[in-house]
Structure formats: C-alpha cells, structure tokens
Amino acid sequence: MGCIQSFRQCCDRPKNTNVRISLPAVCFVWQIAMIILFGIFIRYNEESDAHWIEHKTSNNISSNIENDFYFRYPSFQDVHVMIFVGFGFLMTFLKRYSFGAVGFNFLIAGFGLQWALLMQGWFHSLDPMDGKIKIGVESMINADFCVASCLIAYGAVLGKVSPVQLMVMTLFGVTLYAVEEYIILSLIHARDAGGSMVIHTFGAYYGLSISWMLYRPNLDQSKHRIGSVYNSDVFAMIGTLFLWMFWPSFNSAISDHGDGQHRAAINTYLSLAATVLTAIAISSLSQKTGKLDMVHIQNATLAGGVAVGTAAEFMLMPYGSLIVGFCCGIISTLGYIYITPFMEKYLKIHDTCGIHNLHAMPGVIGGIVGAITAAAASEGVYGKEGLRNTFDFKGEWKDMKPTQQGGHQAAGLCVALCFGIGGGIIVGCILRLPIWGDAPDNSCFDDEIYWELPEDEENNPPTVEYSNHMRNKAVTESNVSLERRQN
C-alpha cells in the first residue's frame, strides 16, 4: 500500500489535457496495426466465404437458411444496439458529459471490437490447417461481448480519464478478457451464455480497480458537475431502455440453436421484469415521501439481466428467473443507496456510474446462481440428450456430472474475479503515468476539456438565483450611485 501511495504521488504532476498528438497517434498506430494483423490472420469462415455454395453441397445442407447468419444475425444487431446506444446513452446522465459519454463509448467500442476479433480468434477460432482466424456472425457477437466488458469498466471512470487512457484501458481490457474467457470457457469448461462472470464480473472489477488506482482525493472540486439535469436524465433512459429491451438477445445470442436460444430469451425477459418492480419499490422506500430516484430506475432495473446471464440457457424455470430478478432489483438499489457512498468514503473507490451495483454484485450473483443451477441439473428435468447438449458434455468432458459442472462454474467465477481485480490494478498503475492528458481535479465531468462545445445560450443558462443576484447587485449599485449623486 505504501508503495502504491508513493507511486501515486510520483505521478501527480500538473495536468496537461492537450491530446492533439497522443490521441491521433494512438488511433493511427493501432488502426494500422489492426490492418496488418487482419491482413495476416483474419479470413471469412466457411459460412461467409464465397465457397459456401460448395460447402453446402458437400455437407448436405439443404437450404441457405441453415447458414448461422439466420440463427444469430437478429440477436447480433440487438447486441450491437446495446453496445453503442445502450451503454453510450446510459452514461449521458451527467449534466455536462454527454458528448464524452456517447463519443468516447463510440471510440473505444470501435477500436475494441477489432482487437477482440484478433484476440478471441487466436484463442478460439484459429484454423490449424492454415493458421488463419475464420470469422463469422458469432465472432462479431463475441467481439461485441468483449467490448461490453470494457464499456462497463468505462462506467467506473466516466468523466475522470482522457480518451487516450480509455484506449489503453481497452487495449489491455480486451487482452485480459480474451485470456480469462479462454480459461473459463475452454480450460475450465464453465458455461456462461450471458457472460455474468466473463463479461460483467470481470469488466466491473477491472473498472473498479482502475478507479481505485486513479483515486482523486480532491475530486470534490468537480462535485457540482456530478449531478444530472432534467434532459440528461431523459437521454439516459434511452440507454436504459435499449439495454433492458435487448438483454434477452444478449443472453441468447451465442447459446445453442433451438431450445437454448429460446429458453435464454424467456429467462432474461422474466428476470428483468421482476427487477423493475423491486428496484422501484426500494427506490420509493428510500425517500421520505416515497419519491422515485432516476438513478435507480436507470440502473438497478437492469441488474436482473446481468444476474441471469450464466443460468439463462439452463432449466432455471420461469419462477427461478423471477426470483433472481426479484433479489437483484433489491440488492442493486440498496447498493446505490448505501454501498456506493461507503466505497467512495472508506475504500477510496469513486464509481461514477455505480457499476458495482449494476454489474459487479449482480455478476457475482449470476455466477453463483449458475453454479447452483448446474449442480442441481438432472436427467429428469433436462432429458438425457438435453443434459448433454445444454452443458456440452461431449468429447473430453463426456463423463462429467452436473455436480462437477457446478464446481467448475464456481472456479470460473473466481478466475473472472482475479483477472478483473489483478488486471485492473496493473493497468491502473500504467494509467497513473502523467503522460495521458487526463483532466485536473477541478475539470472532471466536463465536456469542455476534450470537445469543441457549441456556443449556445443554453450552455450556461442563467439561474433565477443568479440573475436575481446580479440584478439586485446592479440595482444596489445604482442606488449607491444615486445616493452618491444626491449627496
């Protein structure tokens, strides 16, 4: 801790927010690197290659509709909307950081998905025949998933970092993600359709650890900019609703064709519906006169989708989904009321969007629910074929038992936690270097630093108090001058 403290101090030099060299340099270098690596490694898979027509004949595929594109593309588009509009607009709630929320979200997602295609490709879809990565619609969904974990992490540091820091954070975030995903899904053979562990737990703890490393003791200098205004809260609801509505697609996008996708969508739909009611109930309870708080509506209503992620494709049963959503709505809302202030005050972790309540806790719950549901699976409920199919008890895992699978699920959760916290601390150290152009403590949460703002009247609307004050002052002065004149 002492070491971290001294490292922190050594990094606290005066801030220069000019990113005119660093941001374009990073963008160009990384994009050129992507082109070269894509040129070397990435090719179409057999379903998106022009040889598909021959592949179809030789594999006795009766119709083009059997192409994976038609199974997954609608879900892909929904996930895509969640990444860019959902996460982007969810973060517009700050009164003067909407450009940064939507714009930097766009930037890091645009970069992250390319790097994710490469990293995930090396681990998962490297063709041993020619050493190439073969991509298709499922690769695009997985890339979007990977990016989601970095956008979750962005939520913790929203308004406090520069776009260059975000790019670095995404580069390492995607890399760590690909490794932990490979360990959890392939080595440990845990199942995680909706990514409660792989995406949410990892992403949230990654972001929180970075936020802890970048702790700003004097952030209260920017306190007046942390709140929302009426319109920014409505904009944020666009993000909330698109996340909420398309979450069934998120959790079902890469699950098994047929009943797997079908069941994952139903479970998520139900879990989210239950969360809305309990989040609103706790929000109302927390205020003297029962008024609702937009922060809870915007965030806690989504916790059910996170928590049902791992178990979405299992036979969780409709009432099981409702129970998961029920609990998470309560826990997440209580988190916003009690845990976020606690973490800021005592743990020195400032969490702008409250990702601990929306992703970290529900993600861990989701991992646990997944482990329990897997351990409790039986042939009676799933059918013999169904059990093998759902848990992929094939190949080297063909003798696995559901109880064992439960253990593997729990192990997967631990890996996600370790990668999130460990990776976040290391990347946080790198991001403390005083070369990234982040804002000084009194200019956080302000688009002014990185954006050309329109010179509009509404930028600094005169408040009634302000103009009254000014007027009174002027009138007083006029009186004074009059009195002087009279004397």
Tokens representing 456 are 């509009």
Residues in the chain: 487
Nearer to a second copy, 362 or 420 (CB): 362
Nearer to a second copy, 201 or 267 (CB): 267
Residue 475 beta carbon to a second copy: minimum distance, rounded to whole angstroms: 5
Nearer to a second copy, 413 or 449 (CB): 449
Choosing from 126, 179, 219, 237, the residue that interacts with a second copy (CB under 8 A) is 237
**Mask 349-378, x = binds a second copy (CB under 8 A)?**
------------------------------
Residue 77 beta carbon to a second copy: minimum distance, rounded to whole angstroms: 6
210: helix, strand or coil: helix
| DSSP per-residue string spanning 394-432 | -GGGTT--HHHHHHHHHHHHHHHHHHHHHHHHHHHHHHH
Scan residues 165-224 and list those touching a second copy (CB under 8 A): none
Task: Decide: is 238 part of the binding site for a second copy (CB under 8 A).
Answer: yes
The rounded distance, in Å, linking the Cα atoms of 332 and 326 is: 10
Q: What is the largest CA-CA distance in the chain?
A: 107
Nearer to a second copy, 8 or 388 (CB): 388
Residue 311: phi and psi, rounded to 5, are -85, 0
Look-up of token digits 């929306």: 358
Residue 47 beta carbon to a second copy: minimum distance, rounded to whole angstroms: 6
Give me the residues paired with residue 134 across strands.
43
Scan residues 263-282 and list those touching a second copy (CB under 8 A): 263, 265-266, 269-270, 272-278, 280-282
Scan residues 5-64 and list those touching a second copy (CB under 8 A): 17-24, 27-28, 30-32, 34-36, 38-39, 42-44, 47-54, 56, 62-64
Scan residues 306-325 and list those touching a second copy (CB under 8 A): 315, 317-319, 322-323
Tell me which residue of 196, 417, 205, 177 sits closest to 303, measured CA to CA: 196
Nearer to a second copy, 265 or 369 (CB): 265
Task: Decide: is 404 part of the binding site for a second copy (CB under 8 A).
Answer: no
The rounded distance, in Å, linking the Cα atoms of 448 and 467 is: 23
Q: Would you say 166 and 397 are in contact if contact means Cβ atoms under 8 Å apart?
A: no
The rounded distance, in Å, linking the Cα atoms of 229 and 360 is: 27
Scan residues 241-260 and list those touching a second copy (CB under 8 A): 241-242, 244-246, 248-249, 257-259
Nearer to a second copy, 210 or 265 (CB): 265
Tokens representing 229 are 């205004």
Nearer to a second copy, 212 or 314 (CB): 314
Residue 6 beta carbon to a second copy: minimum distance, rounded to whole angstroms: 31
Angle, nearest 10°, between helix axes 318-334 and 259-285? 40
How do strand 132-135 and strand 42-44 relate by DSSP bridges? parallel
Nearer to a second copy, 270 or 415 (CB): 270
Tell me which residue of 281, 255, 276 sits closest to 266, measured CA to CA: 255
The amino acid at residue 137 is V
Scan residues 128-147 and list those touching a second copy (CB under 8 A): 135-137, 140
- Measure the CA angle with vertex 367, ends 338 and 199; round to 5°: 85
* Total site size for a second copy, rule CB under 8 A: 165
The rounded distance, in Å, linking the Cα atoms of 354 and 360 is: 9
Region of 91-99, 185-193, 399-407, 422-430 interacting with a second copy (CB under 8 A): 91-99
Choosing from 8, 386, 397, 443, the residue that interacts with a second copy (CB under 8 A) is 386
Region of 123-131, 171-179, 238-246, 364-372 interacting with a second copy (CB under 8 A): 238-246
Scan residues 414-473 and list those touching a second copy (CB under 8 A): 437, 449-464, 466-468, 470-472
Give me the residues paired with residue 44 across strands.
135
Nearer to a second copy, 201 or 271 (CB): 271
435: helix, strand or coil: coil
Scan residues 332-351 and list those touching a second copy (CB under 8 A): none
97: helix, strand or coil: coil
Choosing from 90, 91, 111, 308, the residue that interacts with a second copy (CB under 8 A) is 111
Task: Decide: is 122 part of the binding site for a second copy (CB under 8 A).
Answer: no
Q: Would you say 151 and 105 are in contact if contact means Cβ atoms under 8 Å apart?
A: yes
Q: Would you say 109 and 47 are in contact if contact means Cβ atoms under 8 Å apart?
A: no
Choosing from 285, 376, 433, 435, the residue that interacts with a second copy (CB under 8 A) is 285
Task: Decide: is 85 part of the binding site for a second copy (CB under 8 A).
Answer: yes
Residue 480 beta carbon to a second copy: minimum distance, rounded to whole angstroms: 11
Tell me which residue of 162, 194, 170 sits closest to 18, measured CA to CA: 162
Nearer to a second copy, 177 or 205 (CB): 177
The rounded distance, in Å, linking the Cα atoms of 426 and 432 is: 10
Residue 371 beta carbon to a second copy: minimum distance, rounded to whole angstroms: 18
Task: Decide: is 400 part of the binding site for a second copy (CB under 8 A).
Answer: no
Task: Decide: is 70 part of the binding site for a second copy (CB under 8 A).
Answer: yes
- Torsion-angle region of residue 131: left (phi > 0), alpha (psi -120 to 50) or beta? left
- Measure the CA angle with vertex 256, ends 255 and 259; round to 5°: 110
Task: Decide: is 226 part of the binding site for a second copy (CB under 8 A).
Answer: no
